[in-house]
Amino acid sequence: MINDLAFTVSISLLFLSFLNKKNILFYAALFLAIISRQTSILIILALIFSLALPYKNKFINLKKIFFSFLLFMTNYLISQQYLMISNITVFYDYQFFGLLDFFQKDFQILKFLNFLFIPLLSFGLLFVVIIILLLKKKIFLTINEINIFFIILLILLISQPFVAGPVIAGKNIIRLSTAGYPSLIFLLCLNLKNLTDLSKKISIIFFIIMLFWSLHPTFSKIKIFEALKVLSKL
């Protein structure tokens, strides 16, 4: 939980660094992300993809990508030394090919569909809000560096647990895919046409609903979530 929280904070710092064009915030965000989760490699991939796009006055540059790789490799080498001392030599490469293995050996359509829709326990309400705002034309997505970077990062973060497949990731896909939640919220807020259009009353109701929605159905003792528990086990 601490690692996930640190990673979430790092994504927030990363977004802030793009908004304010502050290199110190960018490097602090990368450092925090890399020491907290190996998923940080996806941030580096998003940086590389974004650098290839033809934008002027880029915040992303080769220096930042080089520093990111250097920091990631330093952390990797330190981790390898720790694993050797701990006598852990097994590399679980099947987590990168779990979905392919599932299709080849143990494919079940209901199990696969359940796996695909489990992340809606985290993203469902936010998706509904985004759809409503899109229909009301309250969101205007502009093509710029920060939007493209966080869209790429969002796709990568959500895709990573899907690649592991139902057998390897299982219900853990909820936690892993939720790593992309901050990026989606930042993109939503950044591209809203006018925040003042949202009344305080509606905002308060929305946040209360979000609070109850965020209660994890696996561990919550609130009876209203019993149906979700049953559905998640199908």
Print the domain residue range for 20.
1-91
Residues 115 and 9 in one domain: no
| Separation of alpha carbons 65 and 72, rounded Å | 10
**Over pLDDT 90: what percentage of the chain?**
10
Mean pLDDT for 27-31 is 92
Q: Is residue 145 part of a domain?
A: no
Number of domains comprising the chain? 2
For the stretch 178-203, pLDDT in tens is 888 888 888 888 887 666 666 677 77
Residue 105 lies in a domain: yes
Q: Are residues 80 and 132 in the same domain?
A: no
Do 117 and 87 share a domain, yes or no? no
C-alpha neighbours within 13 Å on the C-beta side of residue 141? 11
- 85 lies in the same domain as 119: no
CA atoms of 209 and 75, how far apart (whole Å): 39
Domain match, 110 and 164 both: yes
Residue that is written with structure tokens 């991939």 in the block: 45
CA-to-CA distance for 162 and 174, rounded, in angstroms?
10
pLDDT score recorded for residue 197: 60
Say whether both 115 and 127 belong to one domain: yes
> Measured between alpha carbons, how far is 5 from 32 in angstroms, rounded to an integer?
10
Q: Which of 75, 91, 107 is the last residue of a domain?
A: 91
pLDDT given at position 94: 53
DSSP H helical segments within the chain, as ranges? 2-20, 23-36, 41-51, 62-85, 98-105, 109-117, 120-135, 145-168, 173-177, 181-190, 200-213, 226-232
Residue 87: other Cβ atoms inside 10 A:
6
Does residue 38 form part of some domain?
Answer: yes
Out of 60-69, 90-99, 102-111, 195-204, pick the least confident.
Answer: 90-99
Q: What is the structure's pLDDT at 159?
A: 83
> Are 81 and 118 within one domain?
no
Average pLDDT over the chain, rounded to an integer: 78
The structure tokens listed for 156 are 């990568």
128 lies in the same domain as 233: yes
Q: What span, in angstroms and rounded, lies between the C-alpha atoms of 189 and 173?
A: 25
